[in-house]
């Protein structure tokens, strides 16, 4: 956990959001519906919610760039839209996709933004040197912004937003695409900034970040679920959260009945354990009966409260159990990487990656963006030819029988890339055809998938118009039509709301019971917890391997205190850097 | 294998057709081109103004004037009063030409001497003024033929235009449009095909399926071929039934040659698609290819008029070869041998561009 910012006191009302509704089109639900809240100076206000909850819409209303359909946004009592010009003098805004010019250097970007804001002379130079020191970018002033890492881009974006010392700083998902280390740095930079004269809005889909904010506005589907201190919300869950410690082999078969039980509001895998959220006044003895292990009370998290507000987790049943045939477990590895190496010129994007994966196992390739996990992933599904080493999927060598190997794997790309202009049924027929299913069998499988994923009613709907959760189901359905032996998932649930994420993982659970191997890439620590085994990749190399709990345990200090996956990640990266320095010396 | 390819083709066609932008790409350009080329872009001389300064008081001068008045290409005939007005008429682009008949025009003819008519043309519009000049000359020679009747008859040149006896401009443009429109449609449809998937992020999904690169190339080529043939057929029908242009040759020869023409164009389209990351880049790439291809095809200006090195360069332009086939088969029943001779370069272009784009696609993958 990060240090909590200590600027609770001295908040002054700065922004008032009064029953704001925003429609983008006459039909369809509003992007925001009667949202009210306040933003105070001296505090970090978290704008929290999954993708599509309305965070960016609300931020744009705060900048005065768009106008609410109903209600008003008042900044120091003035209407934001009407007093745009004045407002922009005191606003620092960092859009989601860094508003930087990728073909300009770091310094050129700073100069450009300074010119735009009318900052010049010695004052400008002073600000520059201060900000460059603050963001630790002084060494990179000549580098093109496009060549910076995700974390450094965000820092530069922050520097540009801070040029004229804004009184209201709006950060739209600053931690997306940023590795955990830079994420911490970014957070501590921002909390250092906040003082009596400045209000900060930090939009995020990560609930662990929400926990650290002074205040939050929790959004879901354009509606405000909660506003106030995150701790107050989390505290309402006190006494309802338990960790069930189980043997690792048992956790998957235990979780589904737990979710289905009426006295359990939510259950998720947490390394070797299962994290349980019980219903109010649930019978603990009854729950203990469902668990073959020890039940330990645990501290509630913000996410528990969010899930509870959303009406609890899914029921844990996955109709996929009936819709997929079981593959036989031959005991052999189904995915094998032997010394996989990919070089681009002198740069090795991945070097000597070796692992093997059993049937029914979930293996996570964890690492920050650009660490080489995507390259490894692409080599294993045949999208990139390795420079050295070999990869095998379902017994087929990817160099000699790539197409056969590809026929045995299912692939779900990030952001569920499907054909948005054609209907659900047409998407499925296409994939059935491409995977060579005969007409009769294609029809059978399509019907089974539509049924299993509750998509029958959406048969004729254009895929692009489906709600996000259904898009994800369709993507999974398309990847499973041909009953693959291995499923490749690329950051499957980042930015997705907690309920949809749980639903997704209960499908994955059902698949492992059918001996389907699942290979996941993620930079998202929570997703890592769902994996059976993790391969931690950093700078193109495997720096650690093991079960999530083993990795966490390897980093626990002498006091054996609980460490989060993120702590473990940061510690392991630091250890590897240390080792590298020693060998170099 | 065929099941996979057919599924891909069906998906491609659906994806184009169900996307409103895709539909626009298919429907709008051909109709727009039809209107522009068939009606607006004409090289005939029509709707022009002309001025006449007739200082002659006799009959012969009036006959020339009447001949001009009665000629169809001239919209408005302005009568001038003095020589001073000529400059202003031409300089101000009021008229394309001024016909100046001298005071002694009738008198000289009556006397059996040679008489002159001065024609001042606007050289800035070189093409139109040449045509106007020949119109005027024919009017004047008619008058003079009648005038000198009984004296000695001068030889009269009779011109007959083969294959297009009335020099109907649409007879030239519409068969050409069959070639140019199919070029535009096919190049855009194929250029967008891979770029669209790459932009939407579905291309990886396609690449991890059991589809082989060759199958992807076949599947991505088919919509271009299908839409190319559809548009080609549409224009052939419009030409024959809408514009009553006689179809002299063999449909079989035209469609057969068109097959290789479309393949050559598809190869180029896929090449553009393979190097474009977004649909915008693909459209831009398609136009960077299509505009010079149309200009250097012989459709806008004869290839024979270009410098030698450029004539050589036009050899790699599929449109240049197919244009000869389309116009030839349409108007003069081009013999099969000639069709084959002009189709051969298309086969060559296709055998280079198609494998090249397949290679590039595969290279982009790894």
Which residue's structure tokens are 């492992």? A512
Mean pLDDT, residues A375-382 taken together: 86
- pLDDT at residue A61 tops 50: yes
HEC string for A68-99: CCEEEEEECCEECCCCHHHHHHCEEEECCCCC
Q: Is the pLDDT of residue A4 over 50?
A: no
pLDDT of residue A90: 86
- How far off is chain B from A505, nearest CA to CA, in Å? 21
pLDDT top residue among A478 and A99: A478
Closest residue by Cα to residue A268 from A509, A520, A516, A554: A509
CA distance A442 to A455: 16
Percent of residues, chain A, with pLDDT higher than 90: 20
Q: Enumerate residue ranges in chain B where pLDDT < 70.
A: 37-46, 72, 148-159, 166-167, 364-366
Distance from CA of A383 to the nearest CA of B (A): 6
Shortest alpha-carbon distance between residue B207 and chain A (Å)? 7
Q: Cβ contacts of residue A23 below 8 Å, gap of 6+?
A: A30, A31, A69
Whether the predicted pLDDT of A483 surpasses 50: yes
Question: Which candidate in B210, B214, B216, B222 is best for mutational testing of the A interface (most A CBs within 10 A)?
Answer: B210
Question: B200 vs A406: CB contact, 8 Å cut-off?
Answer: no
Q: Do A434 and B202 touch (CB under 8 A)?
A: no
Residues 78-137 of B with CB under 8 A from A: none
Which residue has better confidence, B158 or A555?
A555
Q: Which pLDDT score, from 0 to 100, does residue A416 have?
A: 67
Place of tokens 């160099």: A399
Phi and psi at residue A437, in whole multiples of 5°? Answer: -75, 135
Per-residue pLDDT, B189: 92
Q: How far is CA B96 from CA A419, A446, B75, B132, B141, in A?
A: 57, 71, 11, 8, 20
Polymer length in residues for chain B:
366
Between A560 and B216, the higher pLDDT residue: B216
Cα–Cα distance for residue pair A339/B321, rounded to 1 Å: 53
A488 part of contact set with chain B, CB < 8 Å: yes
A379 pLDDT above the threshold of 60: yes
Q: Do residues A191 and A8 touch, judged by C-beta distance below 8 A? A: no
Other CB atoms within a 10 A radius of the CB of residue B159 amount to: 7
Asked if B210 and A404 come within 8 Å (Cβ–Cβ), the reply is: yes
**Listed residue (A12, A525, A4) closest to A234, CA to CA:** A4
Which of B201, B202, B210 is the closest to A406 by Cβ?
A: B210
Q: In which region does residue A267 sit, left (phi positive, over 0), alpha (psi from -120 to 50) or beta (all else)?
A: beta
Task: Go through B88-115 and write b for each residue having 16 or more CB atoms within 10 A of its CB, e for each that does not.
Answer: ebbeeebbbbbbbbbebbbebbeeeeeb
Which pLDDT belongs to residue A147?
80
How do strand A541-546 and strand A388-393 relate by DSSP bridges?
unpaired
Which tens digits make up the pLDDT trace of A120-168?
Answer: 888 888 889 888 888 888 888 888 888 887 788 888 888 888 888 888 9
- Residue among A135, A143, A157, A147 nearest A108 (CA): A143
Q: Does A396 touch chain B (CB under 8 A)?
A: no
Q: How many CB pairs under 8 A join A and B?
A: 85
Residues of A in contact with B14 (CB under 8 A): 421-422, 426
The CA distance from B218 to B116, in Å, is: 69
| Closest CA relative to residue A476, chosen from A320, A253, A313, A363 | A320
User: Does the beta carbon of B15 lie under 8 angstroms from any beta carbon of chain A?
Assistant: yes
Q: How far is CA B112 from CA B105, B119, B148, B151, in A?
A: 11, 22, 8, 8
Contacts of B58 (CB under 8 A, 6+ apart): B105, B106, B107, B110
Q: What are phi and psi of A485, to 5 degrees?
A: -85, -25
Q: Which chain A residues are Cβ-neighbours of B201 within 8 angstroms?
A: 413-415, 417
State chain A's mean pLDDT as an integer. 85
At A2 the pLDDT is: 44
Measured from the Cβ of residue A292, the count of other Cβ atoms closer than 10 Å reads 12
Instruction: Tell me which residue has tokens 């280390």.
Output: A181
Q: Are A66 and A56 in contact (CB under 8 A)?
A: no
Q: Output the pLDDT for position A538.
A: 87
By Cβ distance, the residue of B19, B207, B211 closest to A421 is B19
Q: Determine which of A105-109, A219-223, A289-293, B295-299 has the lowest per-residue pLDDT on average.
A: A289-293
Q: Decide if B224 contacts B266 (C-beta within 8 A).
A: yes
Inter-chain CB proximity B201 and A417 less than 8 Å = yes
Cβ neighbours of A95 (radius 10 Å): 18
- Please give the Cα distance from A317 to A184 (Å, whole number): 37
**Residue A537 backbone phi and psi in degrees, to 5:** -110, 130
Distance between A410 CA and the closest CA of chain B, angstroms? 8
> Which pLDDT does position B227 carry in this prediction?
93
Amino acid B265: pLDDT: 95
User: What sign for the dihedral angle of Cα A170, A172, A178, A180?
Assistant: positive
Nearest-Å Rg of the Cα atoms of chain A is: 25
Contact B277/A at CB under 8 A: no
Whether the pLDDT of residue A373 is over 70: the answer is yes
Q: Which of A419, A435, A462 sits opposite B210 (nearest CB)?
A: A435
The chain B residue lying nearest A461, using CA atoms, is B18
Which residue of A340, A384, A434 to mutate against B (max B Cβ within 10 Å)?
A434
A415 in contact with chain B, both atoms CB, cutoff 8 A: yes
Report the pLDDT value the prediction gives residue A219, as an integer from 0 to 100: 92
Instruction: Name every residue whose Cβ is closer than 8 Å to that of residue A212 and which is 6 or more positions away in sequence.
Output: A1, A2, A4, A5, A44, A46, A187, A230
- Looking only at the bridges linking them, the beta strands covering A223-228 and A241-245 are unpaired
- Contact criterion met (CB < 8 Å) for B365 and A383: yes
Is A416 within 8 Å of chain B by CB?
no
* Summary count for chain A: helices (H), strands (E): 21, 24
CA proximity to B205, closest of A515, A508, A382, A466: A382
Report the Cα–Cα distance between both ends of chain B, in Å, rounded.
Answer: 23
The predicted-structure confidence for A195-243, as pLDDT tens digits, reads as follows 878 899 999 988 888 999 999 999 988 899 999 999 999 999 888 998 8
List, edge to edge, every strand of the sheet that includes B74-79.
Answer: B74-79, B48-54, B97-101, B117-121
Q: Left (φ > 0), alpha (ψ -120 to 50) or beta: where does B233 sit?
A: alpha
| Separation of alpha carbons B364 and B357, rounded Å | 10
- Choose from A421, A426, A489, A491 for mutation: most chain B CBs within 10 A: A421
Tell which residue, A203, A210, A174, has the closest CA to residue A301. Answer: A210
Contact A430 B3 (CB under 8 A): no
Looking at residue B364, what is its pLDDT? 66
């Amino acid at each position: 956990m990060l240090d909590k910012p200590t600027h609770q006191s001295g908040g002054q009302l700065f922004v008032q959001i009064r029953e704001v509704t925003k429609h983008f089109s006459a039909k369809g639900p509003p992007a925001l519906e009667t949202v009210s809240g306040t933003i105070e100076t001296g505090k970090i206000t978290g704008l929290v919610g999954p993708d599509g909850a309305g965070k960016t819409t609300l931020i744009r209303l705060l900048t005065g760039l768009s106008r609410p359909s109903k209600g008003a946004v008042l900044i120091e009592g003035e209407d934001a839209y009407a007093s745009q010009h004045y407002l922009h003098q005191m606003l620092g805004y960092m859009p989601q996709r860094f508003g930087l010019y990728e073909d300009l250097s770091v310094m050129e970007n700073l100069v450009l933004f300074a010119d735009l804001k009318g900052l010049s002379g010695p004052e400008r130079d002073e600000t520059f040197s201060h900000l460059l020191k603050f963001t630790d970018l002084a060494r990179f002033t000549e580098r093109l912004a496009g060549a910076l890492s995700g974390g450094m881009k965000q820092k530069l974006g922050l520097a540009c937003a801070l040029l004229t010392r804004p009184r209201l700083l709006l950060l739209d998902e600053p931690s997306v695409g940023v590795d955990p280390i830079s994420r911490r740095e970014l957070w501590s930079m921002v909390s250092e900034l906040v003082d009596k004269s400045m209000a900060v809005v930090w939009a995020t889909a990560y609930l662990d970040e929400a926990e650290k904010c002074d205040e939050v506005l929790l959004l879901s589907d354009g509606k405000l679920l909660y506003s106030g201190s995150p701790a107050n919300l989390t505290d309402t869950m006190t006494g309802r959260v338990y960790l069930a410690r189980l043997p690792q082999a048992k956790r998957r078969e235990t979780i589904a009945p737990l979710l289905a039980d009426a006295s359990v509001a939510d259950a998720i895998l947490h390394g070797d354990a299962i994290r349980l959220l019980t219903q109010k006044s649930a019978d603990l003895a009854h729950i203990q009966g469902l668990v073959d292990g020890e039940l330990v009370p645990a501290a509630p998290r913000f996410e528990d409260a969010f899930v509870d507000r959303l009406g609890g987790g899914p029921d844990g049943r996955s109709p996929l159990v009936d819709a997929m045939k079981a593959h036989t477990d031959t005991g052999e590895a189904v995915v094998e990487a032997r010394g996989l190496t990919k070089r681009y010129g002198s740069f090795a994007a991945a070097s000597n990656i070796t692992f093997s994966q059993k049937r029914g196992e979930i293996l996570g390739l964890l690492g920050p963006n650009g660490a080489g996990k995507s390259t490894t992933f692409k080599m294993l599904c045949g999208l990139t030819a390795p420079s050295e080493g070999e990869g095998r999927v379902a017994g087929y060598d990817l160099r000699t029988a790539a197409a056969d190997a590809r026929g045995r794997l299912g692939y779900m790309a990030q952001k569920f890339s499907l054909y948005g202009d054609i209907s659900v049924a047409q998407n499925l027929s296409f994939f059935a055809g491409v995977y060579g299913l005969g007409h009769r069998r294609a029809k059978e499988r399509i019907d089974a998938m539509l049924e299993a994923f509750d998509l029958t009613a959406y048969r004729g709907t254009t895929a692009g118009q489906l709600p996000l959760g259904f898009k994800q189901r369709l993507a999974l359905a398309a990847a499973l039509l041909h009953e693959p032996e291995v499923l490749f998932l690329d950051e499957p649930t980042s930015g997705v709301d907690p309920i949809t994420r749980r639903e997704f993982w209960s499908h994955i659970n059902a698949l492992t019971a059918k001996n389907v191997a699942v290979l996941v890439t993620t930079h998202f620590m929570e997703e890592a917890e769902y994996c059976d085994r993790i391969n931690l990749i950093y700078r193109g190399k495997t720096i650690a391997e093991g079960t999530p709990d083993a990795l966490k345990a390897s980093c626990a200090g002498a006091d054996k205190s609980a460490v989060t996956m993120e702590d473990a990640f940061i510690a392991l990266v630091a250890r590897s850097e240390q080792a590298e320095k020693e060998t170099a010396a | 294998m065929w099941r996979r390819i057919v599924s891909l083709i069906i998906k491609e066609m659906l994806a184009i057709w169900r996307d409103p932008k895709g539909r626009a790409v298919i429907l709008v350009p051909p109709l727009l081109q039809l209107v522009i080329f068939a009606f607006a872009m004409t090289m005939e001389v029509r709707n022009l103004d002309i001025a006449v300064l007739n200082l002659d008081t006799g009959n012969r001068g009036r006959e020339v004037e009447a001949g001009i008045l009665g000629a169809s290409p001239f919209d408005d005939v302005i009568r001038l009063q003095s020589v001073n007005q000529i400059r202003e008429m031409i300089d101000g682009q009021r008229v394309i030409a001024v016909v100046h008949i001298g005071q002694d025009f009738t008198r000289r003819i009556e006397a059996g001497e040679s008489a002159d008519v001065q024609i001042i043309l606007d050289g800035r519009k070189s093409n139109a003024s040449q045509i106007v000049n020949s119109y005027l000359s024919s009017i004047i020679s008619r008058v003079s033929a009648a005038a000198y009747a009984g004296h000695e008859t001068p030889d009269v040149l009779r011109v007959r235009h083969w294959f297009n006896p009335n020099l109907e401009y649409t007879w030239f443009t519409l068969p050409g449009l069959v070639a140019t429109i199919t070029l535009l449609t096919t190049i855009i449809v194929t250029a967008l095909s891979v770029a669209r998937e790459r932009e939407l992020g579905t291309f990886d999904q396609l690449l991890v399926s059991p589809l082989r690169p060759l199958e992807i190339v076949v599947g991505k080529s088919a919509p271009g071929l299908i839409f190319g043939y559809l548009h080609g057929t549409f224009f052939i029908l419009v030409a024959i039934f809408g514009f009553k242009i006689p179809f002299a040759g063999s449909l079989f020869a035209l469609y057969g040659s068109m097959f290789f023409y479309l393949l050559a164009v598809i190869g180029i389209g896929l090449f553009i698609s393979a190097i474009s990351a977004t649909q915008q880049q693909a459209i831009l790439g398609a136009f960077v290819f299509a505009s010079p291809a149309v200009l250097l095809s012989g459709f806008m200006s004869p290839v024979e008029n270009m410098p030698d090195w450029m004539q050589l360069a036009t050899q790699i332009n599929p449109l240049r070869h197919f244009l000869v086939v389309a116009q030839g088969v349409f108007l003069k029943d081009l013999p099969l041998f000639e069709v084959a001779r002009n189709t051969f370069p298309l086969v060559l272009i296709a055998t280079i561009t198609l494998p090249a784009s397949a290679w590039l696609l595969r290279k982009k993958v790894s």
